[in-house]
Structure formats: C-alpha cells, structure tokens
Structure 1
C-alpha cells in the first residue's frame, strides 16, 4: 500500500500514524508539507512552496479562500511531481483546514481521501461570540461562514472524515455524518506516567520545586484569551492571597495562536498581567515561556493543581497529558472539556469566566491534598481511554485500511 500524508506542519497529528504505517512491510509512505519536519523512520518528507500571495484588493470575505486556494494549488503541483515519478497513493490523509487537500483527488482520482476534520466554525455555540469581553463585530457571522468554504470543498471531495472528539465531530454539518469517525490523536500514557518524586528547577529564580510544594500550573502554546489566560490571571491574586505558600508556574509564549491579536505593541500576556500586577506577589508568579518537553512533563508531575481553560474549541493535548500524568485538573465547564472531565469524579469543573469560582476550586485542592488523590487517580484512568498504543493508533490504522479498501463510509 502507498499512503500520502498532507499537512503544512507535518507531522502534526500524524506523528505516530505515519511511521507506524511505514513500518509495515510493503508500505510506502510519503508526506507533503511546507515547513521543515523531524525525520520519521520510513517516511519520505517532500516540502513544497506556495507561489504568490493573496490579492491586496480581494474582497475581505474571500481572502481566506484565496489563501487556501493558493496553498491547495501548490500542494497539487507537488503532487503532480510525485505522480510523474510514478507515485500513486492508495490513501491520502490530510488536514482540511488550510486548503492543501482541495485538488488532490483531481491529481489522483482513484485514491481514497481521508480528511482530518479538526474544527468547523460556526457563529453560535462555539468559539465565535463566546466571550462577551471580545464581542464579534458586525461582519463576524459573514467571515465565519466564508471561512468554512475551504473545508466544505475539502469535505465534499473526501471519502471519509475523522475528528478527534465527539463534540468537534458534532460541529461538522450533518450532510457528512455518514462518512465521519471519531478517533483522538492519542496520548502516550506509557511515557506519561505519574511520578511525584521528580523535582524541577526554576533556574532564573534559583528554586527547586517538588510535589510537596503548592505548585499551580497553567500551560498554553501562547498566553491568550482563547485558552482562558485572562480568567486565570484574574483568579490568581485570590489564590495567592489565601495560600501563602502557593506558586504559579505559567508556561507559554507571547504570540497569538487563535482569535484576535492584541493592540499594536502589546501582548495578551502583559495586558492581563498588568491588570492584576498590583494585587500579586510577583515573587510567586513564574512565567517560564516555552520549555523543553521533558521539563513540561516533570512540571505537570509535581503540580498540586493544573488549570485548563478554553473557549468551546479544539481540545488541547496538554489537558489529556496532564491527566495521564496524574494531575488534579481544574477545567472550564466548556466543550469539549466536559466530554472528558466529570465534575468531582476525575477533576473539577468551573465557570470559564468566574475568577472567584476558579480560585475557590484551586484553593480547595491546595487546602486538602488528600481529597484530591482520588481525582488524580481517576484522571489517570480516564486518560487511558485515549491511550496511543492500545486505543487510538490501532483505531487510526484500522480506519486507514478500511478507507483503502473502500469501506470507510460504512
């Protein structure tokens, strides 16, 4: 079998699936992407470049589709070059969000297209308009609908779709429900084992922290409203006031991954830090930026509480990783968090917008660590349902085989 993976930031969600397929005798695996990628065993990575740029005078509602079309055209030309070499995939696995898969069925009409459907936007019931602090403007509904044009074209060309959570799948139009599976990317629970004996060093602050310390963790790729940074920061003064030994370790960059950018010259990190700066003991607030994965894992291992907040949007790997590591989660009562966290069974759920509720939940755990032990164990057990090696990876491989055989839509 021949399999083509398409993801501008390959490997992305295919980090484990691609080499697992490549390890099968008689299977050839090629990946198309824009950016440099780590070498994966048996996977040939082919990079392509996007020619041209969006038209400066294009209608604003059409801009995202034009950008996706440029990317789709570039991916298709790279595909034509592979075809000229004699490469003809049985299955194409690609992310629908950026337009890369738009024309691949036109290059290889007989190939089966399995599309990763991560998030379908809508003006109600999800991220847009969720946060009253950042109300959508008058054209937000138009932009949201236009933004889905790329995915609708990609879905129509697909033989099958796969989405990582039931809630994310529920956002996809019912028109495609007969060709949709729900399989998470998977969490390596063998590697991510609880270990409360480890310690972490905060070099700049000259501190060594362990599980005996009241460490409150907050982790995001970037510190921004979509992932509840503002709500966490507003809860932090009360947490630190009531728990004099508590320390907050905040992981994440200062860029913007999702949603609106901050005012020019500012970062969301500093805007919301400045808002509460006068009420904080800054000697107990540690912004560590982006850290090595090993350090991140050990940080979550020693955390007394891990706070995870999000708009109704894509579920972060970090929440499930924290659960696998036995962290006590205080999570927002928003989908898809509520698909995984059951309040007072395997974590605590709080109102995303309520700094008081967040603080109360965190303080309750810090004040009675023994009561949190069952939540930690239950979190670990819940994470096993997303186990990479025994659950998710085998399910992805079975689906690829079924799609290759023409059975994926059954």
Structure 2
C-alpha cells in the first residue's frame, strides 16, 4: 500500500505509526517543511516542501490565521502535484490538518482515502474559553465569532475526510456531531517497556548536585512553562511547599516560549513573570532548592520522572500531554488537576490524586500527604503503571489499533469532494 504522511513538524504524532507502516512493507512518503533536502528515516522517504508567501499586512487578524493555513495548503498542494507527476499515487493520506496542509490533497488524488489526526475543535463555552478567570479574553463577546473563523480549517476538512483519529475521548468529543461517526479514539501510545521505574536513576541538577529516588523530589513538566498547563498555580504553591518540605528539591522542566493560549506582555516570559511574583516570598536557602532545567534531551526527561517522589501535572481542559502517561508508566505518584481529559487517565484515589485546578492550598496538602506516605505512593504508582500498560501501551495496545485504523480506512469508499 502507498501511504502519504503530512505533518508540518514530522514525525510528531506519526513518530511510531510511520515506521511501523514502513516496517510491514508499505511504501511511506512524507511531505514536510521541516527538512530542506530529501532524506530517509526509518524506511520512510521524507521529502521537503517550502511554504510560499506570507500573511498580508493589515488583514483582519481572524483572516490572518486562516491565510497562514491557505499558504501551507497551497504550498503542500504544489508539492503533491510534483509528487504525482513522478508517479506516486497514495492509497491513503494521513495528515495532521491543524496547519491546513491537507486542505487540497483530495484535489490531487480524489481516490485516496484521507485520514486526519483530529487533535481539537475549538469551542467557546465558558468551561473552555473562559476556564481561567485570571486571563480573560480581551473581547469575550467576540470569542464565539473568532473561534468560528478559527474552525474554518476544521470545517473544510470535514468535507473531505474519510476518517479521523483522536488521542482522547475529550478531544474527539470537541468535534461536532457530523464528525463523530468517523472519529476513532486511540492514544498515540507510550513505550511502557522502556519507560519504567528505576531505583538506580540519577538526575544532575543545574547547580551540579545529583538527586536519586532516595531523595525527596517534586517534579513539574510543561513543554513551555505557561498558564495553560498550570505553571502559575504551581509557582504560587511553591512558598508553602518549600516551607513545609525543608528537604525537598523542586525540579521544573519546560521552555520559555508559549505553546498555547495568550502570549505574555511584550518582552516578558510567563516563566519569569511568576518567578518574580513568588520570589519575594521565598528565602534564598529555599530558592536554592528550586531547579529549572529548561528543555532537555529525552534521556534527561526520563531520569527526571524516574527520580520523582511526587509528580504534579496541571492543565486547562485541553490536549492531554504525553508526559502524564509517561510519568504513569514510570510508576510516579501523581497529583493532577481535576480537568478533562486528565480524568480519563487519573482516577482519583486509584491512579493518582485529583485536585481542583485553582486550589493551590489543596495542591500543597495532597503533595505533602503523598510525600509523607511511601505506602500510598507505591499503591498509586503501581496502579498508574498498570493502567498505562492496559490503556496506553504502544506496542500491545495503541499501535495495533492505529494500524487497524489505517487498514480499515484503506478499505472504505473514498469521500468525494462536494464539487465532484
């Protein structure tokens, strides 16, 4: 079978599925702007395309967002035409459509089956757009309008998608009813054989000291340290945590940029804003026990969750982080926000502890209670790993389901563009 993968940041969500398809004998080709020259990766032919054009100056900001998707879509369309001229005809196209790249691929190959990675449909309910009152929308009366425009890309893809794949029930459920019968829920999967507890793990901190599972270590992980992932809540809990746990080392992992939500004021970072807010409340000797790792190689991330005594995970109702499932696989004792889709993975009192996202006092109490109870940590961590292996194991659960999804997609009659 000929399979075309489309992702602006390949391999990303296709990190495991792409190589698995190639390994079983499918011809897999990737179009992505991430590479500059054609290359081979794990049996996959990775081909570059260049995004041509730029957003029109002065255009309405709601249109500017969609224009960037049009630019990617037309650029990918041209690369697809060139690929077709070379004789490649995909049976199946798999795309993360969030950046618009796959908008016009059915116009190149109308008989191909298009499978989309359905990460999120933008909704304007108060439980999502208005979730955190500390960061209100500057134009709350227009949020529904703005998000309707932002969903143009989703809506146009709905016309041509043959099937969708979402990693959690929450994410799948954000899509309108017209999509639901075509979306399969299946997580990307984590390698629970590789991500395990390690009593001999060591993590070197920025100041040169080393921590192991025998130390008291509180961990917190974001791709970027920002409010969407509860960084402000965690930082405001730090003064009490450090005061109550004089032997604890607090380790935070994450970059200084913004992945989701509003950007900080010009010239600032969310990371530094909340450091500046809490630092006057923390004595120097306690602040010396707070360690920011920034972005690190994967082995360092793995060591971090392996030395963790209590791992804290917070998020708005949004896309679920891979790091939560990886922490579960490593048998971490987890305190997490009681938000969707966290509740799909963390069952309160069984696979972790759930706290209200905004209740930092409760966050401190539950974290300290776990630090004082090795038996409960072992109970929760063991259950978390068992749950991760049953629901999210890459090789035994998720990858076989993804491969079946591709095969089922290939067997369907392709959706035709409405004009056909």
- TM above 0.5, one fold? yes
Q: Give me the whole-angstrom Cα distance separating, in 1, the residues matched to 2:303 and 2:40.
A: 26
> For residue 418 of structure 2, what is the aligned residue in structure 1?
none
> For residue 263 of structure 1, what is the aligned residue in structure 2?
265
Are 1:227 and 2:234 counterparts?
A: no
275, 278, 286: which is aligned to 2:277? 275
C-alpha root-mean-square deviation of aligned residues, in Å?
1.4
Check whether the contact 1:326–1:379 (CA below 8 A) recurs between aligned residues. yes
> For residue 253 of structure 1, what is the aligned residue in structure 2?
255
Q: Give me the whole-angstrom Cα distance separating, in 2, the residues matched to 1:156 and 1:250.
A: 43
Q: Give me the whole-angstrom Cα distance separating, in 2, the residues matched to 1:182 and 1:206.
A: 43
Aligned length in residues: 407
357, 364, 369: which is aligned to 1:352? 357
> For residue 87 of structure 2, what is the aligned residue in structure 1?
86
Check whether the contact 1:17–1:396 (CA below 8 A) recurs between aligned residues. yes
Are 1:144 and 2:147 counterparts?
A: yes
Check whether the contact 2:113–2:414 (CA below 8 A) recurs between aligned residues. no
In the TM superposition, residue 2 of structure 1 has moved relative to its aligned partner by: 0.0
Are 1:398 and 2:404 counterparts?
A: yes
In the TM superposition, residue 278 of structure 1 has moved relative to its aligned partner by: 1.5
Residues 200-225 of structure 1: CA distance to partner in whole angstroms, max 9, x if unpaired? 111x3121111111100001111000
Check whether the contact 2:334–2:352 (CA below 8 A) recurs between aligned residues. yes
| TM-score of the two chains, using structure 1 as the length reference | 0.97
Check whether the contact 1:155–1:161 (CA below 8 A) recurs between aligned residues. no
Check whether the contact 1:253–1:290 (CA below 8 A) recurs between aligned residues. yes
In the TM superposition, residue 294 of structure 1 has moved relative to its aligned partner by: 0.5
Check whether the contact 1:115–1:155 (CA below 8 A) recurs between aligned residues. no
Please list, as runs of the form range in 1=range in 2, the aligned pairs for 1:8-407 lying within 5 A after superposition.
8-25=8-25, 27-36=26-35, 39-124=40-125, 127-138=128-139, 139-202=142-205, 204-280=206-282, 281-384=286-389, 385-406=391-412
Following TM superposition, the consecutive aligned residue runs of length 4 or more in structure 1 with deviations greater than 4 angstroms are: none
For structure 1, the residue ranges without an aligned partner over 5 or more in a row are none
In the TM superposition, residue 408 of structure 1 has moved relative to its aligned partner by: 9.6
Q: Give me the whole-angstrom Cα distance separating, in 2, the residues matched to 1:186 and 1:87.
A: 30
Residues 23-71 of structure 1: CA distance to partner in whole angstroms, max 9, x if unpaired? 123x210001111399521100111111111111322222211111111
Q: Give me the whole-angstrom Cα distance separating, in 2, the residues matched to 1:125 and 1:117.
A: 22
In 2 relative to 1, CA 141–212 (structure 1 residues): closer, same or farther, beyond 3 Å? same
For structure 2, the residue ranges without an aligned partner over 5 or more in a row are 416-420
Q: Give me the whole-angstrom Cα distance separating, in 2, the residues matched to 1:364 and 1:30.
A: 51
Q: Give me the whole-angstrom Cα distance separating, in 2, the residues matched to 1:54 and 1:150.
A: 16
| TM-score of the two chains, using structure 2 as the length reference | 0.95
Q: Which segment is superposed worse, 400-409 or 294-303? A: 400-409
Check whether the contact 1:220–1:227 (CA below 8 A) recurs between aligned residues. yes
Q: Give me the whole-angstrom Cα distance separating, in 1, the residues matched to 2:103 and 2:69.
A: 8
Check whether the contact 2:123–2:129 (CA below 8 A) recurs between aligned residues. yes
Residues 182-216 of structure 1: CA distance to partner in whole angstroms, max 9, x if unpaired? 011111101101112211111x3121111111100
Check whether the contact 1:3–1:89 (CA below 8 A) recurs between aligned residues. yes
